[in-house]
Amino acid sequence: MIGLVTINLLRPGAGMNVDVATLNTTEAASVITSAREFVSTSEFLLNLLPRTIVSGFADGDILQILVVSVLIGFGLAAAGERAQPMLKVIDSFASGLFWIIGLAMKIAPIAAFGAICVHREPVRRRIAGLARQADWRSSISRVRCFFCWSSGPSHGIAASASSS
């Protein structure tokens, strides 16, 4: 009922003007054929459990990974005091993983800046063109230090501005 009311009130997709006859459906063909295959309830329930603990991870089946994680959590909770060494190992692993994720979050802006510097030649040409147009040579050297940490004058803005 909620879905019908939402569709009739909000009308998602209205005004998109998409010609269905011209859409390319070859990429969706495999998904459509697999969705049409009927899976019985018993097959679905048996597929919830992976063949081994790591096969869900290897196959990328999220539902199997989730079920195994919940079962391991229930097992550790049921074990009580005997599960404390394993919980300490999991906690140590999680804190190490969170440290790595925190480091990646701190390094991400530097990596994005490095990606900009990899493609700095067009930026350098644009800045050199601005220097020729407005004679901003003193401020351009500051911008050069910010955009591209190049070694030597052969790779810098001064070289591209003087060569043209």
Per-residue pLDDT, 144 = 52
Q: Which of 154, 131, 155 is nearest to 142 (CA)?
A: 131
Over pLDDT 90: what percentage of the chain?
29
pLDDT per position as a tens digit, 76-86 = 999 999 999 99
pLDDT per position as a tens digit, 50-74 = 999 889 889 889 999 999 999 999 9
Element (H, E) at 163: helix 157-163
Per-residue pLDDT, 159 = 45
Is the pLDDT at 27 greater than 90? The verdict is no
Q: Where are the domains of the chain?
A: 32-83, 108-164
